[in-house]
Structure 1
Amino acid sequence: MNGTQAEKAIDVIRLASQQEGESLCGLLDLIAQIAPHSRPKTGIFQAPPLPTYYVERPELSQEVKQRLLGEATRTGTLVISAIYGLGGIGKSTVAAALAHEPEIQSHFPDGIFWATLGQQPDILSFLSTWIQALGDYDFKPINSDSASLQLRTLLADKKALLVVDDVWHPEHVEPFRVAGAGCRVLVTTREAPVSGAIRYDLDVMTPEQSLELLTSCLNQELTEVEQESAETLAKTVGYLPLALELAASQVSDGISWAELLEDLAAEIADLETLDRWEAEEASSEAKRKNYSLVASFNLSLRRLPAARLKCFAWLGVLPDDVTITEKLAATLWECSSIQGKKTLRYLRQKALLLPGVSSTQETNYRLHDLLHDLARNLLQSSTTPETASKLPGLGLSIPEAHQQLLARYRQQTTNGLWHTLTDDGYIYSQLIWHLEKAQKIEEIHRLLQEETPEGYNGWYWQCEKEGKTANFVKDISRAWAIAEGNFTENRTESISLHCRYALIFSSFNSLAGNIPPELIAALLEQEIWKPAQALAYVRQSKDSEHQAEGLEKIIEYLPPSLLPEALEVARAIGDGRYRAKALRGLAPHFPEVLPEALDAAIAIRHTPSRVEALVGLAPYLPQSLLSEALDAARAIGNEYHRTIALERLVENLTPSSVDYPLWQQILHTLASLTRPNFLEALPHLAPVIIKFGGVEALRETVKAVKDVSRWWK
């Protein structure tokens, strides 16, 4: 057991000894975090932990599992599976359970990657986190497209599972289509149509599964009377796992089954009446399930102490699907770290928080998006509600709430400079977002111009120090968009900011081009870089010559699995000269690209470069392409360059590669040269002359040379 596990073990013992009415579910969660069996076998494991009372859903999980473990129906096709279902139905939990299965982990030895998107995802940060998890800390993407390309290269020869959780919009999935044929992508969504995905619909729990979940949460066998009440309860809340967990937490707190059922029925009836009055339409089955879930939320919140309810409401100032740490909680609730930890555990024990991610040693939590909506509503609700059925809120506007949170963080800075903040695992990712929500637009631009005592950009310096340059790029992008939106109000400031942010991006573009191909090759040779990382940097370059030379330098180090990626890079090179050069270097590995390479060579306008390309391709050209290459060489106007091209083509001829029509074409092509150049090329044709006319033909050819040279000196 390491130090962190030991600390968690001590926390478990303390929690068990205090017995402050804490739910056993929370205690079991903590035990699960230090249990040896919870450690993943894969090197990279980002899936959230499973609750100890997880109930299997084999009616869907087994089918999805077989798809994840199966082979692609078409070679090179990325298999994408998508789990669909209502909010609170357990989609994310099923996906996490699959990720925890030993068979899945063994099948994907290069890792289990996880990204929970939500309604407004920070896609660039997720992609950058995955890139760093794969060992590349030097790459600095300027947008999601470049990050996706980098990931595609890094994952080309890997076997990994990529889970894209809580997708709201289909276009948000596209940047994550980055894996090689050995990888699989698993998506969870309520209703976003994911192109090309194999669809799996998750229904509510069965009555048997619902009873198993309630029993597991309560950690006790139910009496016959209790079981009847539990069956009624499960039906009342629509067999939704999240609602069942909330209900179990209340029973664990001492609320009787009868009281809970009565309160739930009344709450659901109020919601149905209000909804019909507002929408003037009958309730659908989906709506009734939603009523049961919201009713469960309301009852759980209604029974919170006032101070805890206030803490819950403050969670509404956070963005969707963020990781909530103890350090963040201490600032958010203006309390000590110990008190923040205790409140987080309390809310988790009441099933109002979810377990956090597994990719960090620090205990953390998440907030279900449905509960996040409730917290945001409470943030703005009146402190003195008009009716007893409504919960008291904080009475803040959205800008006011963000301003208050920023003021708490400002107290932690040195001289009011944001870049002096200590990273709490949250604020560096979200500061710009909070400033914008607080309507502090000018402060966003000032933040991005802060400087360190040494004269460096303060925000970039701190983001790079924390390994979060993607945050800086995201912040610059957002600030630029804000400046563009301000054009009509203040043209002078808007235009100057446009130029500033464009200059910053161009500086980022320069970083990739500053690594010479020789250095990339040396890093590979010394095994400081991995082949995938080197190829990714070649791809990132904006310079065609740099890309071609880079491919030439690293090609010998690339494993077969990365060669298709290298070919893709070569084909994308804009300058025809360098595209031909790159394709020529790949020709020994991809004979099928030779026609494409020859076309690229012939299309080069610069004659010396065209000759260089033809000469480079000569050793690899089959008979079917030699005729076209000879025609291209004969068409070269400059005698010197035409001679070089033809000589090299002839040098690489073998008797087996030349048939009689091609022989005729060769002679006609050589006849376009002056005699000295013809004679220089002629010795290379000796094997072919013998093939068609025998040794005697070669003797006669020698005689012809002497005769003609005597006639026309």
Structure 2
Amino acid sequence: MRAFDKLWESQRLEKSKKLDNHQTKSKILGKLSQVPEQPLNFLPRPHELNKIKSLLLENENQRVAVTGISHRVGLQGMGGIGKSVLAAILAHDEDIRSVFPDGILWITLGQQPALTLRQLDLAKMLGDSSQIFQDVQQGKVYLGELFANKACLLIIDDVWKTKDAQAFNILGQRCKMLITTRDSRVLEGVGAVNHPVDLLTVPESLALLALWAKQHPETLPPEAHQIVEECGRLPLALAMIGAMLKGKPDPWKNVLYKLRNADLEKIEAEFPENYQYPNLLKAIQVSVKALEPDLQKRYLDFAVFPEDTLISEAVLQTFWQSEGLNEHDIQDHINLLVERSLIRRDEKNCLTLHDLQYDYVLKQAGDLSILHNRLLAAYSQYCSHGWHTGINDGYFFQNLAYHLRESGRKDELYRLLTQSPDWMEAKYIACIGDAAYVADLQLAINNFTDPLTADELLILVQLHTARQIVNQRVSLYNNDDLATLVWLDREEEALNHARLRLEIEERFYGLITIYKSLYEKKTPKPEILDEIWEIIKSMDGLIKLEAFCDLANLICKIGTDSKTYNAILSQTFELFENKNYLLNSCQDDWAKMKFLQILSKLALLLFILGKDELAYITFVEVHEAIKLCKKNFQLPKLWITLVINLAEANFFHQAYSISQIIEGNYFKINVLSHLAKTLFNKGMQAEAKLYLAEVQEIATLLNDSVGAEQALIEIVSATAYAGDIKQAQEFLLMIGDNGWYTHALMQLSIALARCGNFLKAEEFIQKIEDRGIKNSEDREIIETLAKIDLLSNAEEIANKIKYIPEKIIALTSLIKSLHKKGQKDESENLFSTVKIHLELMPENIGEENLLAVCTALAKIKQFAHGLARIKVDDIDIFIETLTDWDTAFEEVESGLSIVIFREVIRIASWVSPHWQEIYQIFPNVKRD
């Protein structure tokens, strides 16, 4: 736990001694973040408030996590019943604020929330403005760390779907969550206590109506009781009707008549999804119709804004002044709408509508594209040199893309995002980071689905290239650059770049680098270690184990009071106890060698922890196991890791002895070079120079050779293609019983299939399956079988592949063959299977496998699916990947590939001088 947290906790415990029924003379009150102001004319509902309050305060004095659902409380009820108002009142309550001294945080979701942006809002509320989340899962991991040591109340308003609420399942032990929703299933899905919000009683309804009408309840006319029933005893309906009647004693009968004679059939037709709220919709209709015609029009203008968006009064000044209203008239309009309870205004003069009011204006505003174009016309007056020169009023840069799309000006949106970097740079400044620009790109990308026309494909590739530019900006910073930024006191910038990395492993090592630099500066931040620990938890397999050892080594070397330390210690010894079981569980040579590399790091960790004997035993076990490993390209790295860790643990003699028994001068050079570097790092220059001299001597003896197994594979394949199957099999038997043998067996099977000897090919395929080893050449067999109408055999082979990326690639090969044969229905059915596997595909499959899957999707013209899954940090790799798609582009339209590549290179030139030079000489080919 951080020193600040310790100090804070000691103060909180001291305060708790003085608490009496949550009352104290001096309270530390949690800051309110984005919490709405307490509404005008609020009617106290003590019975409701006290029940909810007791749930939120339950176990608040306990310092340990409370098992069960009491950490999540839900307010469930129909629209307009007052759920959000109750939540806001509780948020302002001093007893609540004193229990959650780290803050009361409020976010509103609605029906179609941008979840990662709302996650970013929470990060900013807690003081971290440098974030961008690639996806919801990354946001959850990071926010989980931010909330871990906090005592916060998180209020999530207007939740429609369980999965949306689960994106904020990030509570620390001292946090609680309050959710408002119409759907009880949402609360069940997140394990929240459901507190149903009841309708107002008749006396409460009359009191609220009187409050808004500015009358004493006893002076209300007889029609008041009937108006209450027509409003369904809903607070929002009563507020609007009461505000309309304020200071007007005569029209009560008139209002009652209008409510009773509202056209319910028309309301049902216009609001079919919300017809369960006819009382509220009647009240909205009557209230709006009571406005002057011009003000009615202005109220319907609110349909132009995205749902659940805060609208500053400055935005309305820009909008309406362009149409002839002066500043004072606009302010009068706003004030009257607030007084009539048709909009709400917070302490920052930002305006919002209830979601049913928003639904009403949306349905009544007519052609929405005209409305959006009116707003764009108003803002265009301030953008004389292009949209990127617009006014930064807290709304324009955040929402221009939305308005361009909704106005029907999609082509203009695409040009804005892809024709120059001006909008990207302006938005980076206005919105403090790249997250909002990425959101614009995603908004545009979502417009495209397969199959695509040539025009659509060109635009989609442009958009994804622009998205890649953001990754490129991040990838320009390697770990050394991150360390430099820290030393230049620009740690937030360094953290932003590290967290933007697409690959979880790269993100991990970037954060490790930053923490090391901060520690060396004597400004360590233990919370970064906790964040790294959360990243490790989301990893899988051997990558996770290796990352764990690297983090553990760091923590144990430097010492820290991070909460991660104890977890690291316990899992270190657990890993040691289970090391033999895990080693025996490795199913192939690669996994075994990777795990031995991890064990070498574990041995060093044990040494750092003072367990010298356990460390030595582990080193010896690793050494003996490596000697039994078959030679392959991974062996040098394995020896190097062992030598370095032995040297780090001061076992220099053992490290040097290993270098002497390694076969192969190339391996020996690598091991001795790394040993020398380690000695240099430990200040042992004399010893290091001796090793370097030996390296130089061995280097004179080094010569290259071609592996015999690889040569035999080529002979097997060529002999089989020549038709001499017997001779090919004899050469096959000369290859040892290892992975090369399987590779040769596959080549022989492909050759047989292509020669038409399908029975023999299937015989060898069965041998491969019996060995339990499959690889990427399966798809060549599948393609061959499909060409000669053995489709069922091809599909059977594809479905037996266990590794999901390879299975997807194999199935797409079959789909392409089916499509060429005109079997469109069969290919579409098979692609449905592919889509299921795409959803199941793990994240950490490696860049090469991922790009192979993307290319396979492109080859069957599933370009949108393929582009969406390309995740690389380097623009060069992105472009190189697209070069493998050129045939697929040409199948869409002749000459399209050259046009696409020119556009890709143009956008790449925004961040790369290299591509800028190439773009200048690239032929300017125009499509017909």
Give the drift of 1:134.
2.3
Contact map agreement 2:158 2:179 (CA 8 A) in 1: yes
Aligned match of 1:429 in 367, 379, 398? 398
- Describe how 1:493-532 pairs up with structure 2 within 5 A: 493-494=458-459, 496-507=461-472, 509-510=474-475, 518=483
Contact map agreement 2:208 2:238 (CA 8 A) in 1: yes
Contact map agreement 1:78 1:181 (CA 8 A) in 2: no
Instruction: Give the length in aligned residue pairs.
Output: 582
After superposition, what is the alpha-carbon deviation per residue over 1:118-149, rounded to whole angstroms, capped at 9, x for unaligned? 22223333222322232223333344443333
Does the C-alpha gap of structure 1 residues 604 and 43 become closer, same or farther in structure 2, counting only changes over 3 Å?
A: farther
Deviates more, 1:316-325 or 1:566-575: 566-575
Give the drift of 1:49.
0.4
Which segments of 5 or more consecutive residues in structure 2 lack a partner in the other structure? 1-27, 557-564, 584-591, 628-638, 662-928
Contact map agreement 2:344 2:352 (CA 8 A) in 1: yes
Aligned match of 1:100 in 92, 97, 104? 92
After superposition, what is the alpha-carbon deviation per residue over 1:496-544, rounded to whole angstroms, capped at 9, x for unaligned? 3154134224225437756756457758xx8977999999789977255
After superposition, what is the alpha-carbon deviation per residue over 1:173-231, rounded to whole angstroms, capped at 9, x for unaligned? 2222233222222111111524222211111112232233233323442335x275434
Give the drift of 1:151.
2.4
| Alignment pair present for 1:136 and 2:128 | yes
Q: Distance in 2 between matches of 1:237 and 1:553?
A: 64
Contact map agreement 1:44 1:113 (CA 8 A) in 2: yes
After superposition, what is the alpha-carbon deviation per residue over 1:436-455, rounded to whole angstroms, capped at 9, x for unaligned? 1122111111111354xxxx
Does the C-alpha gap of structure 1 residues 122 and 299 become closer, same or farther in structure 2, counting only changes over 3 Å?
A: same
Amino acid at match of 1:297: I
| Alignment pair present for 1:406 and 2:394 | no
Aligned match of 1:230 in 224, 228, 235? 224
Aligned match of 1:542:
506
Contact map agreement 1:325 1:365 (CA 8 A) in 2: yes
Counterpart secondary structure, 2:133: coil
- Describe how 1:146-545 pairs up with structure 2 within 5 A: 146-191=138-183, 193-194=186-187, 195=189, 196-223=191-218, 226=220, 229-256=223-250, 258-260=252-254, 262-267=256-261, 270-271=263-264, 290-333=277-320, 334=323, 335-356=325-346, 358=347, 361=348, 363-380=349-366, 397-415=367-385, 417-449=386-418, 451=420, 456-467=421-432, 469-483=434-448, 487-490=452-455, 493-494=458-459, 496-507=461-472, 509-510=474-475, 518=483, 542-545=506-509
Aligned match of 1:589:
566
Aligned match of 1:568:
534
Does the C-alpha gap of structure 1 residues 440 and 485 become closer, same or farther in structure 2, counting only changes over 3 Å?
A: farther
Contact map agreement 2:370 2:407 (CA 8 A) in 1: yes
Greater length-normalized contact order (CA 8 Å, ≥ 6 residues apart): 1
Counterpart secondary structure, 2:338: helix
Contact map agreement 2:549 2:598 (CA 8 A) in 1: no
| Alignment pair present for 1:60 and 2:48 | yes
Does the C-alpha gap of structure 1 residues 261 and 619 become closer, same or farther in structure 2, counting only changes over 3 Å?
A: same
Does the C-alpha gap of structure 1 residues 619 and 324 become closer, same or farther in structure 2, counting only changes over 3 Å?
A: closer
Does the C-alpha gap of structure 1 residues 563 and 518 become closer, same or farther in structure 2, counting only changes over 3 Å?
A: closer
Does the C-alpha gap of structure 1 residues 646 and 450 become closer, same or farther in structure 2, counting only changes over 3 Å?
A: closer
Amino acid at match of 2:465: R
Give the drift of 1:249.
0.9
Give the drift of 1:550.
4.6
Q: Distance in 1 between matches of 2:645 and 2:468?
A: 45
Alpha carbon RMSD of aligned pairs, Å? 4.3
Contact map agreement 2:48 2:197 (CA 8 A) in 1: yes
After superposition, what is the alpha-carbon deviation per residue over 1:551-600, rounded to whole angstroms, capped at 9, x for unaligned? 55668977888765443334446365443221334465332111455468
Does the C-alpha gap of structure 1 residues 403 and 615 become closer, same or farther in structure 2, counting only changes over 3 Å?
A: same
After superposition, what is the alpha-carbon deviation per residue over 1:658-681, rounded to whole angstroms, capped at 9, x for unaligned? xxxxxxxxxxxx9xx99x99xxxx
Q: Distance in 2 between matches of 1:49 and 1:246?
A: 18
Counterpart secondary structure, 1:48: coil
TM-score for both structures, normalised by structure 1: 0.71
Give the drift of 1:51.
1.6
TM-score for both structures, normalised by structure 2: 0.55
Aligned match of 2:731:
none
Aligned match of 2:34 in 16, 39, 46? 46
Contact map agreement 2:606 2:615 (CA 8 A) in 1: no
Does the C-alpha gap of structure 1 residues 533 and 411 become closer, same or farther in structure 2, counting only changes over 3 Å?
A: closer
Does the C-alpha gap of structure 1 residues 199 and 533 become closer, same or farther in structure 2, counting only changes over 3 Å?
A: farther
Contact map agreement 2:230 2:259 (CA 8 A) in 1: yes
After superposition, what is the alpha-carbon deviation per residue over 1:222-262, rounded to whole angstroms, capped at 9, x for unaligned? 335x2754344323312100111112112204153641563
After superposition, what is the alpha-carbon deviation per residue over 1:373-418, rounded to whole angstroms, capped at 9, x for unaligned? 22122211xxxxxxxxxxxxxxxx2223222322222222123x11
Q: Distance in 2 between matches of 1:640 and 1:293?
A: 73
Q: Distance in 2 between matches of 1:138 and 1:163?
A: 23
Q: Distance in 2 between matches of 1:465 and 1:277?
A: 39
Aligned match of 1:117:
109
Give the drift of 1:312.
1.0
Aligned match of 2:796:
none
Counterpart secondary structure, 1:114: strand
Q: Distance in 1 between matches of 2:547 and 2:271?
A: 66
Q: Distance in 2 between matches of 1:122 and 1:644?
A: 47
Counterpart secondary structure, 1:338: helix
Q: Distance in 1 between matches of 2:318 and 2:297?
A: 14
Contact map agreement 1:513 1:542 (CA 8 A) in 2: no
